[in-house]
Amino acid sequence: MIDWSWVSFVAGRVPQLWVRTGEHILLTGISTGLAICLALPLGILASRYGWLRGPVLGAAGILQTIPSLAMLAILLALMGKIGVLPAVTALTLYALLPIVRNTVTGLEGVSKEVMEAARGIGMTDRQQLWMVRMPLALPVIVAGIRTAAVVGVGIATLVAFIGAGGLGEFINRGLALSNTRLILLGAVPAGILALMVDFSLAAALWSLQPMRISEKRTFKARLRFPALALPLLLLVVGLLFSFTEPFAQSGETNAGKPDSVIIRVGSKNFSEQIILGEMMALMIEDDGKFVVERRLNLGGTMICHGALAQGEIDLYPEYTGTALTAIMKHKVMTDPDKAFRTVSRYYREKLGLEWLQPFGFNNTYAVTVRKADAKEHGWKKISDLADDASELRAGFTSEFSERPDGYPGLRKAYGFDFGDVTDLDPSIMYQAAAHNQVDVICAFATDGRIPAYNLQVLEDDRNFFPPYYAAPVVRTAILARYPELRAILERLGGLLDDPTMQRLNFQVDEENLLPLEVAHQFLQRQGLLKTDHK
Amino acid sequence: MIVLDKIAKSFDQGVTYAVQDLSLEVSKGETLVMIGSSGCGKTTTLKMINRLIEPTGGVISVDGRDVMEQDPVKLRRSVGYVFQGIGLFPHMTVSRNIEIVPKLLGWPADRRRARSEELLDLVGLPADRFAERLPDELSGGQQQRVGVCRALAADPDYLLMDEPFGALDPVTREVLQEELLDLKRRLGKTIIFVTHDIFEALTLADRIAVLHGGRLEQVGTKDELIGNPSGPVVRELFDKPARQLAAFSGAS
């Protein structure tokens, strides 16, 4: 049987798809356009002055090799902004290399005989460039622009990490929630868009090529102007899509409260973070005084922290262990209270940011085994594994295998090695353990798959793993202005223990509920919401 | 009149000379053919006349004016040049190729169009069939006819031709040589023609300049060169046609 439920899945998301497609076209189009404006002069200069060639191509090449997330993080630090501006900047920088290189190659590839003729009949340098060299190099230059634009469509799916919109929103959300349909909802249109962009540029080039006498006065000849206008048409469609919402239901926007204070809530890009983000957002909305702008699903710690430090968002959930090691570059601390005190003091004094009361759970690494094995061998604590360790197969994420607070430290703290260690992706680690492919994994303590796959966490009896308690981190400035925010958010304090967070994560990861629904149901059951949002 | 006075060209700061101590006069309406084996400096000399290459020493004057004191762009527009590799612009139609110098000189479009049609008719390529073609839709001979048209477009007094027929098959070459003689009779241009083909030189030249190792070996009419060769280089050059002539008459 064919599963037709995807039809209603897509149909329900047409308004979003419409806007995201528009944004995606604009992101790609504008950045490619800017890159052309920069790369053409650079290419012309580099082909003209030989000494410029190395530096220009080298610089463009280096830009190309910067990983996308690193580029976004660097631009966030330099520009102090998240959203469209750094996104377009990053995409423009990535588009430079193919265009510059093809411009140089194209200009230098023009036949020497033709150029001597251009000089010999009395063209000035400028006339030689614009009347002969450029037109003859055009196919190669356009090939570079096509490469840049198609690659741009692909990279533009990543700028959703910094809240710049585009089809990447679906992909990121799908990745965060392990929802294949959402991933495809972004990836398939992006693929089609890449083909359309490539075709439109190829058509525009074709229309600019000199036409043979045999082709004149044919039907094809009449297609020349429309072909030239094709890339422009695509841009107009992008503009139209991103600024209209023909299918959107009314009443969904915040337009009804023009004078309200806007609080911008951020989160990182995985289920737990999005659920926490939605919870905080719902609590703030429920109070009635504020309007919440959700900037959830941002691409990781550096981007969230950067956005908060720059005042681009007002709060997001962070973990004590992450703040300690990744932000403060402090060494690992095992005492949870001491870690929390250290982190909050540093944030308050150095960063102007405030840690509120933690949610309650500790999402640290957890050495996890099958429940059945634990029962059979009587394993309760990690040190119980010592005798059997050399017989056990471990499956760890590559990060865990490397980090000092991962396997290397674990071996030292407990004094044993596992018989065999395999690198596994977090998404398949739990299944691998459940299906007897490995015996021990480094789970995340709040992952819903631990109970779902009948796995059991072993107690860290030597307190080796650093604590990763989650808490809202808020800008001190906004707390000073609206002190009631603290009270609102601290009603969530201590509310979520490890099993509760596991269950909520499971609802999103495995039962495919929306984080908003999960957060809403939970808060309602706790009696924390005054108004009914349905 | 074009006068070359003791010109020299070195590409390596005076270590070796591609052209040395070369003096020549080309008078109005005359066709002078420069001949010599490759590397003798004939193309270098031709290119120095419109400053595609600048001389290391000596003076070149066109109509009494030193070329080095003229704007090279203006100079080149006033002297027609037919290139060895033809060098038509592949992205322009035949008529746009021909009209390019008039366009650079700012002629109005209808005058340019009339001129290119006139020239196409002159070289036997009817404008209605050929004007809108691209160069790669023409045969080699047709392309070089267009090359000649382009050089003549702005009606220059002087025509510099650098082995223009070298790449063509012998039959087409002969046809084009005949056409060039015809053009010359009708238009009265002053032509400097570079070739390494002695038969071409004999067919086209009023006077022949023989170059060897960057120096002028001898200049004169063919009768003067054959009757009174300055040395072995010139004598050998004319041996070949003489031998072939002898072989031809012996066979008949």
pLDDT band at A169 (very low <50, low <70, confident <90, very high): confident
**CB contact A124 to B (< 8 Å):** yes
- Chain B residue at shortest CA distance from A111: B87
The complex's ipTM works out to 0.91
Question: Using the beta-carbon criterion (under 8 Å), do B83 and A116 form an inter-chain contact?
Answer: yes
CA distance A45 to A42: 5
Provide the total of helices (H) and of strands (E) in chain B, helices listed first.
Answer: 11, 10
* Dihedral of alpha carbons A424, A438, A372, A382, sign: negative
pLDDT band at A250 (very low <50, low <70, confident <90, very high): very low
- Chain B residue at shortest CA distance from A117: B87
Q: Which residues of B touch A119 (CB under 8 A)?
A: 52, 76
Across the interface, of A121, A132, A213, the residue whose CB is closest to B150 is: A121
Across the interface, of B76, B88, B132, the residue whose CB is closest to A120 is: B76
Supply the pLDDT for residue A402. 81
Q: How far is A223 from chain B (nearest CA, A)?
A: 19
Supply the pLDDT for residue A247. 54
pLDDT band at A1 (very low <50, low <70, confident <90, very high): low
H helices within A310-445, ranges in order? Answer: 320-322, 336-346, 371-377, 398-402, 407-414, 426-434
- Chain A residue at shortest CA distance from B129: A213
Testing the interface with B: which of A111, A112, A121 to mutate, by most B Cβ within 10 A?
A121
Considering only CA atoms, which of A16, A27, A26, A20 is closest in space to residue A236? A26
**CB contact A255 to B (< 8 Å):** no
Question: Using the beta-carbon criterion (under 8 Å), do B73 and A123 form an inter-chain contact?
Answer: yes
pLDDT band at A255 (very low <50, low <70, confident <90, very high): very low
Question: Using the beta-carbon criterion (under 8 Å), do A210 and B150 form an inter-chain contact?
Answer: no
CA distance A470 to A105: 54
For A61-73, the pLDDT digits (tens) are: 898 888 888 888 8
Tracing tokens 């910067």 back to the chain, one arrives at A66
Question: Using the beta-carbon criterion (under 8 Å), do A113 and B87 form an inter-chain contact?
Answer: yes
Q: Which residues of B touch A117 (CB under 8 A)?
A: 81, 83, 85-89
CA distances from A20 to A164, A244, A298, B174 (A): 10, 11, 16, 69
Instruction: Return the ∠ at Cα A449 (arms to A446 and A450), rounded to 5°.
Output: 65
Tracing tokens 């300690």 back to the chain, one arrives at A324
Q: How far is A130 from chain B (nearest CA, A)?
A: 12
Across the interface, of B52, B91, B151, the residue whose CB is closest to A136 is: B91
Q: How far is B185 from chain A (nearest CA, A)?
A: 24
Q: Which two tokens stand for residue A527?
A: 């009696």
Q: How far is A207 from chain B (nearest CA, A)?
A: 13
CA A22 to chain centre: 19
CA B99 to chain centre: 20
Q: Which residues of A touch B90 (CB under 8 A)?
A: 114, 136, 210
Q: What is the mean pLDDT of chain A?
A: 88
H helices within A249-395, ranges in order? Answer: 271-287, 301-309, 320-322, 336-346, 371-377
Q: Which residues of B touch A131 (CB under 8 A)?
A: 89, 100
- Chain A residue at shortest CA distance from B132: A213
Q: Which residues of A touch B92 (CB under 8 A)?
A: 210
Question: Using the beta-carbon criterion (under 8 Å), do B75 and A122 form an inter-chain contact?
Answer: yes
**CB contact A118 to B (< 8 Å):** yes
Considering only CA atoms, which of A471, A72, A23 is closest in space to residue A310? A72
| 8 A C-beta contact, residue A369 and residue A440 | yes
The mean pLDDT of B80-104, rounded to a whole number, is: 93
pLDDT band at A173 (very low <50, low <70, confident <90, very high): confident
The mean pLDDT of B48-54, rounded to a whole number, is: 94
pLDDT band at B43 (very low <50, low <70, confident <90, very high): very high
**CB contact A127 to B (< 8 Å):** yes
For A80-92, the pLDDT digits (tens) are: 777 889 999 999 9
Supply the pLDDT for residue A381. 92
Considering only CA atoms, which of B200, B187, B27, B213 is closest in space to residue B119? B187
For B189-220, the pLDDT digits (tens) are: 999 999 999 999 999 999 999 999 999 999 99
Supply the pLDDT for residue A115. 95
**What percentage of chain A reaches a pLDDT higher than 90?**
54
Write the CB contacts of A20 (distance below 8 Å, at least 6 apart in sequence).
A165, A166, A167, A169, A170, A186, A189
CA A50 to chain centre: 40
Q: How far is A55 from chain B (nearest CA, A)?
A: 29
CA distance A496 to A278: 14
Across the interface, of A116, A124, A135, the residue whose CB is closest to B91 is: A135
A265 phi/psi in degrees, rounded to 5: -100, 130
**CB contact A210 to B (< 8 Å):** yes
Greater confidence, A220 or A274?
A274
Instruction: Provide the residue type at A360 as one letter.
Output: G
Residue B153 clears pLDDT 50, i.e. is over it: yes
**CB contact A122 to B (< 8 Å):** yes
Q: Which residues of A touch B77 (CB under 8 A)?
A: 121-122
Considering only CA atoms, which of A1, A140, A164 is closest in space to residue A68? A164
pLDDT band at B251 (very low <50, low <70, confident <90, very high): low
Question: Using the beta-carbon criterion (under 8 Å), do B83 and A120 form an inter-chain contact?
Answer: yes
CA A252 to chain centre: 25
Q: How far is B100 from chain A (nearest CA, A)?
A: 9
Specify the range with the lowest mean pLDDT, choosing from A313-317, A331-335, A435-439: A331-335
Supply the pLDDT for residue A246. 57
Q: Which residues of A touch B87 (CB under 8 A)?
A: 113-114, 116-118, 120
Across the interface, of A114, A116, A127, the residue whose CB is closest to B90 is: A114
CA B112 to chain centre: 24
pLDDT band at A245 (very low <50, low <70, confident <90, very high): low
The sheet with strand A261-266 has its strands ordered as A290-295, A261-266, A315-319, A470-475, A353-355
- Chain A residue at shortest CA distance from B98: A121
CA distance B46 to B55: 11
- Chain A residue at shortest CA distance from B79: A121
Across the interface, of B87, B91, B104, the residue whose CB is closest to A210 is: B91
Supply the pLDDT for residue A534. 45
